[in-house]
Amino acid sequence: MRYEVTHGKDVFSVDVHDVGGGIYDVTVDEETPVRIDAAKSPRTVYSLLIDSKQFEGSVDERDDGRLDVHVGSSAFDFEVIDERRKALLSAATTVVQGKQDILAQMPGKIVKVLVEVGQEVSADEGVIVMEAMKMENEIKSPIDGVVTEVSVAEGDAVETDAKLLVIDPPFNQRPFGPS
Amino acid sequence: MRYEVTHGKDVFSVDVHDVGGGIYDVTVDEETPVRIDAAKSPRTVYSLLIDSKQFEGSVDERDDGRLDVHVGSSAFDFEVIDERRKALLSAATTVVQGKQDILAQMPGKIVKVLVEVGQEVSADEGVIVMEAMKMENEIKSPIDGVVTEVSVAEGDAVETDAKLLVIDPPFNQRPFGPS
Amino acid sequence: MSSAPFSKLLVANRGEIAVRIMRACRELDIRSVALYSDVDRNALHVRHADEAYPCGPAPARESYLNIDRILEVAKECGAAAIHPGYGFLAENAEFAERCAKAGVIFVGPKPDTIQSMGDKVIARQMMAKANVPIVPGTTEKLSDDEAIKFAKEIGFPVMVKATAGGGGKGMRLVRAESELEQSIKRARSEAKASFGDDAIYVEKFVEEPRHIEIQILGDQHGNAIHLFERECSIQRRHQKVIEEAPANRMTPELRAKMGDAAVAAAKAVGYEGAGTCEFLVDKHNDFYFLEMNTRVQVEHPVTEMITNVDIVKTGIRIAAGEEIGFGQDDVSISGWAIEARIYAEDPEHNFRPSPGEVSVYRPPGGPGVRNDSGVYPGAEVTVFYDPMISKLVCWGRDRPEAIGRMKRALHEFVVKGIKTSIPFHRVVMNHPKFLEGKYDTGFIEQEILGSKDVPLLNDKDELKVGVMLAAIATYRRDTARASRGSSNTSGEQSRWKTVGRARQMRGGSL
Amino acid sequence: MSSAPFSKLLVANRGEIAVRIMRACRELDIRSVALYSDVDRNALHVRHADEAYPCGPAPARESYLNIDRILEVAKECGAAAIHPGYGFLAENAEFAERCAKAGVIFVGPKPDTIQSMGDKVIARQMMAKANVPIVPGTTEKLSDDEAIKFAKEIGFPVMVKATAGGGGKGMRLVRAESELEQSIKRARSEAKASFGDDAIYVEKFVEEPRHIEIQILGDQHGNAIHLFERECSIQRRHQKVIEEAPANRMTPELRAKMGDAAVAAAKAVGYEGAGTCEFLVDKHNDFYFLEMNTRVQVEHPVTEMITNVDIVKTGIRIAAGEEIGFGQDDVSISGWAIEARIYAEDPEHNFRPSPGEVSVYRPPGGPGVRNDSGVYPGAEVTVFYDPMISKLVCWGRDRPEAIGRMKRALHEFVVKGIKTSIPFHRVVMNHPKFLEGKYDTGFIEQEILGSKDVPLLNDKDELKVGVMLAAIATYRRDTARASRGSSNTSGEQSRWKTVGRARQMRGGSL
């Protein structure tokens, strides 16, 4: 699984490969993978062995979803996003004008449709909950607008690029006037 | 709820009345009820306030189902049984000879029938799992014997005194010879 | 060892100091009684008590400051004495008097000692009379001419201060006579603008001030001794953060002079119990009386560690009418002790409070380490009270050993669920000026808080480890969520899972 | 403070002593390296280390006693020194020699010191030569006539012992000459029957023996001093359970004589590092050399607390070639310290081991309390190693204060998930003979274990509270189970619960 870890202005691309038994091969920014033995019981913090060096560390998720991470004497504030989720959310970050076809970024199952045709939505408002690779992800509207089409129902299995729903921009923002 | 707490040769009858908010009125052996403020978070032991006296205490369930209880400097080994369960099990402790009609001691639902007709069972072997008042209880055979009748099926709702199954003693122990 | 001085003592406080007092009680065979507000039922001090009574809603004014309720509990439980700790009602003369009227011993000095030492003007007058050096200055308003004359008398530098002042407004540092007239003018106009009153007075300016205080003990039989000094110059916004005993750059002569002054102060007010004389010491090693704290001090453990005297137990015995039990010649300084106050606050974000559940708590141990804690794993830190969760105190044969132990203990100390000032203390313990022992009360402002947020000791290696750990933890969370999410497919399966869970309960804690 | 004596030290041990050594390393700025067997990845000592290496399967013989693997790790990690702690390889002369050959410093005495002190006969001979008193007796077999002659020489009472003996077989206490011939006959026939060898020898019988030992320090420069005595007479099956320093009923004369003897013993073997001379002291205050332990002792903290010397750090400095750094006249006794060894065992059921997960762990704190722990909340106690999970050490100005603190600390100490010997220590701390300080090595057998199981301090009030708590806990468990059981009625509901759970994860620990 690949993650993007953001610390201030620095962004690290981190690949986690689960070797089993609490051992992970971790690659940061395409460097040589590092083998990490990460031991943790529910009652305590992590003990990490990295190339035989021992670090105690902890990770706490804040209410805003960011992570407070302590390692040794250091404290960090990270944002972590996995690439799947990033892909699922990419509609919201890359295409921001005009009529929006919301497509499935990977195969999955529709858990919940949160809107109906005719409903007004705001940018970043959740419109569909989709389960992909055993994770539930809320897909958000990339723009302020109106739902003009819902192409799937709860329980549907969908393939990559399947159209999920369509959102039109509000009247006054449509590029070619009223349609 | 009424419990029977056994400590060595002493048996205490304890009634627990849930007042709410971690407060209980507890009556031991029909004495005056005592109000107990029992505070506990998952990460620690109990703090009990009884008539403003403070005791720290802990309860650990052993593999054999008995309880290790610590209060202040003292350590105790208790067996606790609730009166409902006691009633459900009473067939096993009061009638021990001859053909056994296993009856429901209170209304409930049959969760699982663990034996079939013709099957040999030992005393104390589980024969039926019954749910009553939201608790599952395993009903045990009061004798060594053979199951001669199963009167209920899984999922059945049963009333008090409904016949659940019949167990005959082994051939050589039947009071009047072969039937 | 004598027998228990009382049979029962009510602790009118919470947090670590309540626990500290209850520890003393247990060692003295005294039954201890706790009070708890509505949010404190699960607090540590309740768990250390023999008895506990509710005292009201969360706000301190309705609970820990509720004199009527506290005296009611004392009567109900039959407590012979009340210990106020520090803060809350500890320096409230009315409370001490109400205790006396209710026939309950107040563990502390007499009400009029509290009263007079609580009034800065009276305290200053009494100390001057007892030949305890005070910061030369007036507290009454002066005309321009009087101010100039007085400033020349006490010598420069001086501070010109607004009598109605506060928060630095209407305050002027004057280094030479030539600046004086202009400064008085400015101070007056600032004071007028801020407080509507242009009255000013003049005070000697204490250069490179260090906050050094002397622990005193007095009893009802007229005995008074001191237990040497503590240095408390590491402060943030006038709040002590790190204390040590003995003081840095102390000389035997200065120690003797300050000790004598503190004992004179104690005798002047007929002091009973454990108290503290706070002084400012300037760069010339001249010292000036600041105030007397008529109660046990937060930082009393550093003195306990270098003198081997249990100050809290001694204070309780004194309140019971016993003598101190040892003389000035029986006490001496052994080694060096440092205390770090651990607060539930986020040093990276301007020390904002960090309430919450303490999910993981692993205090340090081993040689020379004492931890006076107010929390435990599972305790809740609320916003209602002081955010100090623990005092970490380390002792060494000398200062370097004490610092080495403090660094080691800070490294060991694991607290999760809330943010704490532990990383901040690590910064101080590695600071060259701290290591040299050459600092004054401006240390934190000038040496640490150059930037608004504290530059923690984040290093590159640990950043990389943190990045990898963040990814691993996220992966583990998502995997765990996914496996939970996929298991709710049928009622039948769920039922068997429930039975399985019930079975797993066996052998567990209830 | 001098700079770090080494840059890196490998700790060839586990549990609390490994943690203790790593604490010393951190205070000395030495990087510490841990070893862990397959079941110890999550052990506390790994979490205290800067580096950690696996050393093999759970059985000690394949891991912590695996010399080849340990030296391999030392080479791999570049450790300058190895500290063996106590137990495992601490008194293994071969290991010390292998370290020397591998160019790694062994923190402890020279191999031949370990070798000779490990052989009782050689140790006895060397001590006799150095005029250290030994229990008068022979170790070679005697004829009847020789035995009678020798017994008269050393005076009654004597012990007649089988040379092949052990476990009390072929052992006879003889109080008067008149019983001697008959006793020799019986001892011979018992020995013949048990060991196939009827050889016997005669030894002075030590009456009401107390186990008192002297802490010694020696360096490579010929310096040797002692740090006074510890009394370790509270034993169960020859295992120390409670130790104190100084010893009860000690006189300045006896202390001086025993100290001199211990220093003479240290000099006789050219002792380097921290070690201990164990003596038996009889009711006449005569003392006899028992053995020399050529390593740091479990109970070293009581000496650290009364002398303020850090024995472990000093031992490491000595191994680096430094001098002790202070002389006999620089050390003195201050106050009193008591150590209680906390074992994971069930004192109510003949001290059977009690492995498992430590679910709740709240060690005591506050003044005068030191806890050297090998576990933490969430740690697993396994059956593979010594069951000691912690050493609780309390200091007081005098013995009553130390006992008061120990009682208070035992009251505070909360350990759940496993059984511990904490309740047993409470019994001892309340026992009149212990309070008087009048006990010998028979104390536990005679005074506590009259019955097979330990009579804990169960009182009637606490029984009643326990009965009620048991019922409440059962009620709460059953109610919680019922509400879990009834919630799995439909897939839809479960799904929403799952989403809810995922949301709850926010703000939590990963």
State yes or no: pLDDT of D190 exceeds 90: no
Distant-in-sequence, close-in-space partners of B91: CB < 8 Å, separation ≥ 6:
B100, B102, B103, B105, B139, B142
**Pairing between β-strand D31-37 and β-strand D51-56 as defined by DSSP bridges:** parallel
* Same structural domain, B15 and B77: yes
Give the pLDDT score at A160: 75
pLDDT interval class at A109 (50, 70, 90): confident
pLDDT score for C193: 87
Q: Looking at the domain that runs over C8-107, which CATH code has it been given?
A: 3.40.50.20
Q: Which among A72, A93, A75, A79 has a CA at the least distance from the CA of A139?
A: A93
Q: Residue C354 in contact with residue C420, Cβ under 8 Å?
A: yes
Show residues of chain C in contact with B41, CB under 8 Å: 42, 357, 378
Give the per-residue pLDDT at A174.
Answer: 47
Q: What pLDDT, on the 0 to 100 scale, is given for residue D399?
A: 98
Query: Contact D367/D22 with Cβ under 8 angstroms?
Result: no
Task: Please indicate whether residue B38 or residue D166 has the higher confidence score (pLDDT).
Answer: B38
The percent of residues in chain B predicted with pLDDT above 70, rounded, is: 85
Q: Is residue B135 part of a domain?
A: yes
**pLDDT at position D26 over 80:** yes
Give the pLDDT of residue C310.
98
What number is the average pLDDT over the span D236-255?
Answer: 95
Mind spelling out the 3-state secondary structure of C17-44?
A: HHHHHHHHHHHCCCEEEEEEECCCCCCH
Which residue type does D444 have? I
Answer yes or no: do A57 and C483 touch at CB < 8 A.
Answer: no
Domain identity same for A123 and A144: yes
Neighbours of C153 (CB within 10 A): 10
Q: Are residues B115 and B64 in the same domain?
A: no
Fold for the domain defined by D136-204? Dna Ligase; domain 1 (3.30.1490)
Q: Which chains touch D (3 or more CB pairs under 8 A)?
A: A, B, C
- Inter-chain residue contact D367 with C1, CB threshold 8 Å: no
Containing structural domain, residue A138: 96-173
Annotated active-site residue D295? The verdict is: yes
CB-side neighbour CA atoms (13 Å) of A19? 11
Least confident of A3-7, A93-97, B133-137, C197-201: A93-97
What pLDDT is attached to residue D484? Answer: 62
Residue B17 · residue B25 · CB < 8 Å: yes
DSSP SS3 for C350: coil
Domain C109-133+208-334 has CATH 3.40.720.10: no
Of D98, D172, D230, D295, catalytic = D295
Taking residues D49-65, report their average pLDDT: 97
* B49·C377 Cβ contact <8 A: no
Instruction: Examine the domain organization and report whether B69 and B106 are in the same domain.
Output: no
Per residue in B49-78, pLDDT tens? 999 999 999 999 888 889 999 998 788 999
pLDDT for the residue B171: 61
Among B61, B83, B105, the domain boundary falls at B83
A98-102, C150-154, D300-304 — which is least confidently predicted? A98-102
Task: Show residues of chain A in contact with D10, CB under 8 Å.
Answer: none
B43 Cβ neighbours under 8 A, 6+ residues apart: A43, C359, C377, C378, D360, D377
Name the range with the highest mean pLDDT among A74-83, A126-135, A167-176, C108-117.
C108-117
Q: What's the gap in Å between the CA of C486 and the closest CA on chain A?
A: 7
Distance from the Cα of B176 to chain D's closest Cα (Å) equals 44
Buried-exposed string C287-298: b where 16+ CB fall within 10 A, e elsewhere: bbbbbbbbbbbb
For domain C343-470, give the fold: D-amino Acid Aminotransferase; Chain A, domain 1 (3.30.470)
Whole-number pLDDT of residue C137: 86
Between C139 and D499, the more confident residue is: C139
**Residue D70 three-state SS:** helix
Query: How far apart (Å, rounded) are the C-alpha atoms in residues B34 and B51?
Result: 8
Do A113 and A70 sit in the same domain of this protein?
A: no
In a domain, A146, yes or no: yes
Q: CATH no. for residue B50?
A: 3.30.700.30
Mean pLDDT, 10 residues at a time, chain C of 510 residues:
83 98 98 98 97 97 98 98 97 97 98 94 92 88 91 91 76 91 91 88 91 98 98 93 97 97 97 97 94 97 98 98 97 98 90 92 97 96 95 98 98 93 94 95 87 66 94 91 53 32 46
Please give the tally of structural domains in chain A. 2
- Contact list in C for residue B55 (CB cut-off 8 A) is none
Query: Which chain D residue lies closest to B66 (C-alpha atoms)?
Result: D470
User: Measured between alpha carbons, how far is residue D213 from residues C221, D331, D399 in Å?
Assistant: 44, 17, 18
Q: Which of B159, C334, C410 is nearest to D305 (CA)?
A: C334
Pair of tokens at residue B136: 């599952």
Is there a domain that residue B89 lies in?
no
Token representation of residue C441: 């009360």
In this predicted structure, the answer to whether residue D258 has a pLDDT above a threshold of 50 is: yes
Q: Are the C-beta atoms of B77 and B7 separated by less than 8 Å?
A: yes
Per the DSSP assignment, residues forming a β-bridge with C216 are: C226, C275
**pLDDT given at position C499:** 32
Measure the CA–CA gap between C181 and C298, rounded to whole angstroms: 42
- For residue A89, what pLDDT is reported? 57
Residue type (1 letter), D462? E
The three-point CA angle D55-D61-D63 to 5° equals 5
Q: Do domains D109-133+208-334 and D343-470 have the same CATH topology?
A: yes
Q: What is the pLDDT of residue C112?
A: 96
Same domain, A107 and A164: yes
CB-CB under 8 Å, A18 with C471: no
Q: Which residue of B has its CA nearest to C31?
A: B53
8 Å CB contact between D351 and D444: no
Q: What's the confidence (pLDDT) of residue C431?
A: 93
CB contact under 8 A, D378 and A67: no
Which residue in chain C has the smallest CA separation from B136? C499
Is C478–A135 a contact, with Cβ atoms under 8 angstroms apart?
yes
Q: Do A136 and D499 touch (CB under 8 A)?
A: yes
> Does A69 contact C at CB distance below 8 Å?
yes
Cα distances from A67 to residues A18, A78, A126, B171, D247, in angstroms, run: 21, 5, 22, 71, 54
Kindly list the residues from chain D whose CB atom is less than 8 angstroms away from the CB atom of residue C28.
404
Rounded CA-CA distance C1/C134 in Å is 40
Q: Does B75 touch chain D (CB under 8 A)?
A: yes
Cα–Cα distances (Å) from C186 to B175, B177, C198, in that order, read 116, 120, 10
Q: Is C176 on the interface with B (CB under 8 A)?
A: no
- pLDDT value for B134: 58
Cβ neighbours, 10 Å, residue D129: 9
Tokens read off for C242: 């790190």
Q: Which amino acid is at D187?
A: A
Name subunits touching A (3+ CB pairs < 8 A). C, D
Of A26, A34, A75, the CB nearest to C423: A75
Q: Residue A62's closest chain D neighbor by CA?
A: D507
Amino acid identity at C159: M
Indicate whether B31 and B62 sit together in one domain.
yes
DSSP state of C205: P
Identify the domain boundary among B83, B109, B139: B83
| C493 near B CB under 8 A | no
Task: Name the residue with tokens 């999550």.
Answer: D42
Mean pLDDT of D200-212: 92
CB pairs under 8 A between B and D: 127
Q: Hey, is the C-beta of A134 within 8 angstroms of any chain D C-beta? A: no
Residues A107, A70 share a domain: no
Please name the residue of chain C whose CA is at the shortest distance from the CA of residue D48. Answer: C412
Please tell me if residue A16 touches chain C, with a CB cutoff of 8 Å: yes
Of C179, C176, C200, the closest CA to residue C189 belongs to C200
> D381 CB near a chain A CB, below 8 Å?
no
Distance CA C222, CA C327 (A): 12
Domain chopping of chain D, boundaries: 8-107, 109-133+208-334, 136-204, 343-470
The reply to whether A10 and A77 lie within a common domain is: yes
At A10-37, the pLDDT tens digits run 999 999 999 999 999 999 998 899 999 9
Lowest-pLDDT choice from B156-160, C449-453, D155-159, D484-488: D484-488
More confident residue, A58 or C347: A58
* CATH code, A123: 2.40.50.100
Q: Given an 8 Å threshold on Cβ–Cβ distance, is D509 in contact with A58?
A: yes
- Please tell me which of the candidates C426, C466, C472 has its beta carbon nearest to residue A38: C472
Going by C-alpha positions, the residue among C21, C390, C391, C86 that lies closest to residue C243 is C391
